[in-house]
Amino acid sequence: MQWDWQVFCEDTITREVQPRCFGPGGDITYLEWMLSAWGWTVSVSVLALLLALVVGSVIGTLRTLPHSPWVVRFGNAWVELFRNIPLLVQIFLWYHVIPALIPALKGVPGFVLVVIALGLFTSARIAEQVKSGIQSLPRGQRYAALALGLTTAQAYRHVLLPMAFRIIIPPLTSETMNIFKNSSVAFAVSVAELTMFAMQAQEETSRGIEIYLAVTGLYIVSAFAINRLMAWIERRVRVPGFIASGAAGGH
């Protein structure tokens, strides 16, 4: 088997190898196409992650509210709904079905619909982690906050959530890395991300091994960068001795 890495320097139209692997005068090489697709992958992943963190934190908090059974049931229903439907099916629903039911969404770009689908799917998983983090705290922290005169909202904001998020950083790291991998299903609705690039470039060049190895490398680089960033955040917010203490308590 012979490697041909010059395929990335070829013009996508003329198939001529460009001197610097970048097409002159607006022409595009496969390298430029792949980097553009990487940008779409990162954009989908980051925006979906932000949406998932906001929604997942709210839903996870609602599921731990005392004396609010209907709010807890709503949070549980949210998690069960989005966690039990395959991601690919959810993306098709958001792309084909929901715009047909809600005409106002017909003009929304597919990129935005994919971000919503991926973000809500991941929010259910983050909500479960936030709930577990809050419930793993010793009961005394909630009671102490209330005894100091804090309202329930203030107790969550200043005491429970900051400590719970410290506990769940490791599973959040895995979820953040997963969202980059899960973004690959966006190709199903023609979002020009890495997987879609790999499929089309492989068909055009017949150099599938080189194409897929390069795409795999970019996925690994993206996930590893997130891993290191989350590890840095974990070190910065760590409270010495807190995790061991929290693990021994709980409701």
Q: Which residues fall within 8 angstroms of residue 127, CB to CB, at 6 or more apart?
A: 55, 56, 57, 59, 60, 63, 75, 78, 79
Cα–Cα distance measured from residue 91 to residue 153, given in angstroms and rounded to the nearest whole number: 34
Residue 8, SS3 per DSSP: helix
Rounded CA separation 146/153 (Å): 10
pLDDT digits (tens, 9 = 90+) for 57-103: 999 999 999 888 999 999 999 999 999 999 999 999 999 899 999 88
How many angstroms separate the CA atoms of 189 and 171, rounded?
A: 29
SS3 67: coil
Contact 145/158 with Cβ under 8 angstroms? yes
- Average pLDDT of the chain? 88
Residue 243 predicted with pLDDT over 90: no
pLDDT in tens, 159-176: 999 999 998 999 999 999
Provide the pLDDT confidence category of residue 250 given band limits of 50, 70 and 90. very low
Q: Place domain 7-17+25-237 in its CATH homologous superfamily.
A: MetI-like (1.10.3720.10)
Structure tokens at 67: 């004396």
User: 229-240 burial by CB neighbour count: b if 16+ within 10 A, else e?
Assistant: ebeeeeeeeeee
**43, two tokens:** 């954009």
Number of H helices, E strands in the chain: 12, 0
